[in-house]
Amino acid sequence: MMRLIEKGLMYGNLFHVNGQAMADRYNRALKHLTGKETTLTDFHVDISGYAPEVGEELEDHLYLNPQGCNRQFILLSTEQKSAPLLEAKFSTSRGILRQFITSNEAQLFALTARDAIAGELVNSVYSVTKPSHLFDIRKIRVEADTTSGVVSDAGKLDSMITEFRSRDDAWWDDVLIADMIKLAHKTGDVTRVPIRLGHTEYEQGNFWTSHFGGLYAFRDVEKPAVISVSDEDLGNLPVGKGGGAIGLHERTKIAKFLEDNDLVEPIVKARGVDAVAILRQKLDFIIVDVAATMEADLNRLRRQDLRSLARRYSELLPVEFHTLAKLLRWAEGGGAWPRISSNDPAYFYTLRSKPHADRDLVNMLLAELSMLDVRQLFICHKELFYSRYRTWPDQKKAFVADFLAREYQVDKAGAREALFGSGDASMEEPPQAEPRDVVDIVGPWGAVRRTR
């Protein structure tokens, strides 16, 4: 995996924790949430504050995600909003964290200037022991505060101020006044600069989860369904016709579900798409997959070299290759229209999601149904990509890593728009924004007054 890390294709865009002071802040939050601490002073965290290095040290990569259903998080900086979410159990978690940080950026910027923030994505389910428990999760509430409890104290002070203003005898209540002064030393003047985190409730509609071997739950569409990656018996589910899940191998049922809900479109008919270039690249990936198993030399391949490999291993090329080749000939204007049914292994290679709210989720599903297209797999389903990558011959690992670094990494947004259409920024972590001036974020007086 070092090849991917070196090329920025794995653990990229993480927030760097460097130095004793910042590590101490992290430890205070970590102990507050888990009772554990790290001895490290140099590590990298994702949007939730999870650090692979700390996970290795603690021998627990779910140290911030117990039971895999109530994600805890540590914020050291609002810059974490641009980081990926590692060890994700739900496809919705990163989006919720990013929205929370963005919606409360000014407040969080000021609070993290002095302390770490510890929080949790809370739902009504505390453990997922049955598949049906997943469908009890409808709303996610974000609870967050500094390790010293500034947000909570600000809420208490605000209530005290309201009481003080509404009571006629409040001027003679020495205890109330003393408590207000004590809290104000911690929070500053909350009447001028309120400390309040808003936008803390989020809906979880359609989602993917890694639980029970992997599930795609589409419950907010016209004809709901659950698509199961594993062959595990999931029992009766409160989604879909008859309450049963569709297996990933039931291709015709999946195709009908996608069509009935108008979720996908053929690549060759999509607007603003160079279908010929996309199909050629899919064919190239299939050729490389076969050639790598035959230990062919894959260094610095040109288009001519790939054609040569296709001829050499023509008898070994799978059905997907031959079907996509027919579609490519039609797209280039030199062949008949091929009839491709859902039973054809190439069927899902020919589709992409239509523009809608669940575009990322549908493209993620399509990537899992067309895993020889390594570029789409990397963009849409990174965890599965990394899992598959570990099983590949070294020749294929080198080719794919070089291709992604050369053709995708240099222009992520452009590549995503070319493949999936405009408006797909959520598929990939955005580049780090330039640091904003403090005055632009919190105003000339600051969001939290310092005590003398």
Query: What is the tens place of the pLDDT at every residue in 67-95?
Result: 888 899 999 999 999 999 998 999 999 99
Helices (H) and strands (E) in the chain, counts: 17, 12
Average pLDDT for 414-421? 82
Residue 436 CB contacts under 8 Å (≥ 6 apart), including other chains: none
Q: Give residue-wise pLDDT tens across range 223-254.
A: 999 999 998 888 888 876 766 789 999 999 99
Q: Is the dihedral angle over the CA atoms 339, 344, 348, 349 positive or is it negative?
A: negative
Average pLDDT for 421-430? 51
CA dist., res. 313 & res. 310, Å (int): 5
Q: Count CB-CB contacts under 10 A for residue 291.
A: 26
Find which of 131-140, 143-152, 391-400 is predicted with most confidence, using mean pLDDT. 391-400
Identify whether the C-beta of residue 89 lies closer than 8 Å to the C-beta of residue 209.
yes
Q: Could you tell me the pLDDT band of residue 194, with boundaries at 50, 70 and 90?
A: low
- Choose between 372 and 416: higher pLDDT: 372
> Is the confidence at residue 189, as pLDDT, over 60?
no
pLDDT, position 448: 37
Average pLDDT for 407-435? 64
Residue 94 CB contacts under 8 Å (≥ 6 apart), including other chains: 47, 84, 85, 88
Q: What is the DSSP-derived secondary structure letter of residue 357?
A: T
Q: How many CA atoms lie within 13 A of 370 on its CB side?
A: 29
Residue 72 tokens, joined: 């805890």
Supply φ then ψ for residue 398, to 5 degrees.
-65, -45
Average pLDDT for 13-33? 94
Q: Count CB-CB contacts under 10 A for residue 292.
A: 19
Q: Give residue-wise pLDDT tens across range 139-165.
A: 899 988 888 777 766 766 677 777 777
Instruction: Please spell the DSSP secondary structure of 17-61, one letter per residue.
Output: EESHHHHHHHHHHHHHHHS-----SEEEE-TTS--HHHHHHHT-T
